[in-house]
A = this chain, B = another copy of it.
């Protein structure tokens, strides 16, 4: 590993040094800009007026990302490991579509190419891994996962039964044209989104819908409760004393504890 490789590695892959952090901030700004350009390019009126500007910017970003991609390959010790890592593939997919648009000059595949370019946004997630607050949130969400999965599985039969009853009660004339569509209505209603594109018209249907809404509200309090409880644990854990008891190795003491709560030995406070 040459000196240049080592210095580039510190700049690009490390976030602790001052230059590394500065590089990360610039990279985030460039990624966000490129994503904004792709998004705005999809607006018909803007696309007509600024078509050339967007194309120019797109090539500018692509060239910049290509240089960055090649540098990453150059300075990473185990090249193939980076190339086939999740973020390595994302980095490649971020630049490939623009080059491919030179070969396939079809107008129809344009929307898909545009979408692939937006995968660049995942690169921000990589940079966000270092934020401490994010770790607390991830921890809470990871702890909640099992319960929320069970919860959603328990909700599905309810959605099916409610959807089917509404399909029988309201029928095709009132927009409940099939069981899957009625299930879609049930989900729209129980999550309190309530588009109103499908709504019960008969008195009995409205009565049933009212019950579904009230019960649905109670049921959907569950994920909020799950996340609250696990978040509370994660926050408390992150705030608690990181000290380990020197005599019994117990962790997780209160913030201001001077003595181990299990064996009473004094904790060495920093």
Question: What residues of chain A have their CB less than 8 Å away from a CB belonging to chain B?
Answer: 35, 38-40, 42-44, 111-112, 114-115, 118, 121-122, 124-125, 128, 131, 133-134, 136-137, 140-141, 144, 146-157, 160-161, 164-165, 167-168, 172, 177-181, 183-184, 187-189, 191-197, 199, 203, 206-207, 209-210, 213-214, 216-218, 220-232, 235, 250, 256-258, 262
Contact = CB atoms under 8 A, between A and B. Distances in A.
A154 to B, nearest CB: 7
A207 B178 CA distance: 13
A222 B139 CA distance: 12
A228 B140 CA distance: 14
Q: How many copies does the complex hold?
A: 4
A191 B207 CA distance: 14
Given A167-B111, A180-B42, A217 B231 contact: no
A152 B213 CA distance: 12
Given A153-B128, A164-B115, A228-B228, A209 B184 contact: yes
Contacts of A217: 191, 220, 223
- Looking at chain A's contact residues, the main secondary structure is helix
Contact of A133 (B40, B121, B146): B146
Given A194-B195, A210-B187, A168 B122 contact: no
Q: Which of A128, A195, A199 has the most CB of B within 10 A?
A: A195
Given A222-B231, A227-B221, A134 B154 contact: yes
Given A218-B148, A225-B140, A187 B213 contact: yes
A178 B44 contact: yes
A137 B154 CA distance: 10
